[in-house]
Amino acid sequence: MGRKYIDCRDYPSEMHCTVALSADTEDELLEAAVQHAVQVHQHQDTPELRSQLKTLFKEGAPPA
Ligand SMILES: [Zn+2]
């Protein structure tokens, strides 16, 4: 299992958020991404949000 990450810079946002999150498992990354989306981007924690976030996960580490 490789590392996975999600990079907010890839995600269209009016906030121009530059946070990148990474974890060893998709479940861990999803929990971190959901918390970030709810707290920072004021999203609702819904199954739709979770499935949308999963499509944004990438293999490896965030680019520097
Ligand atoms: Zn963000």
Residues 6 or more apart whose Cβ sits within 8 Å of residue 14: none
Is there a domain that residue 64 lies in?
no
Is there a domain that residue 47 lies in?
yes
Is there a domain that residue 50 lies in?
yes
Distance 8 CA to ligand 1 centre (A): 5
Is there a domain that residue 38 lies in?
yes
Is there a domain that residue 24 lies in?
yes
Scan for tokens 């590392």, then name that residue: 3
Residue range 12-23, pLDDT digits in tens: 767 789 999 999
Distance 47 CA to ligand 1 centre (A): 18
Is there a domain that residue 63 lies in?
no
Distance 2 CA to ligand 1 centre (A): 23
Positions of the chain with pLDDT lower than 50, given as ranges? none
Is there a domain that residue 49 lies in?
yes
Position 35 scores a pLDDT of 97
* 48: enclosing H helix or E strand: helix 47-54
- How many independent structural domains does the chain possess? 1
Structural domain containing residue 9? 4-58
CA distance 17 to 42: 13
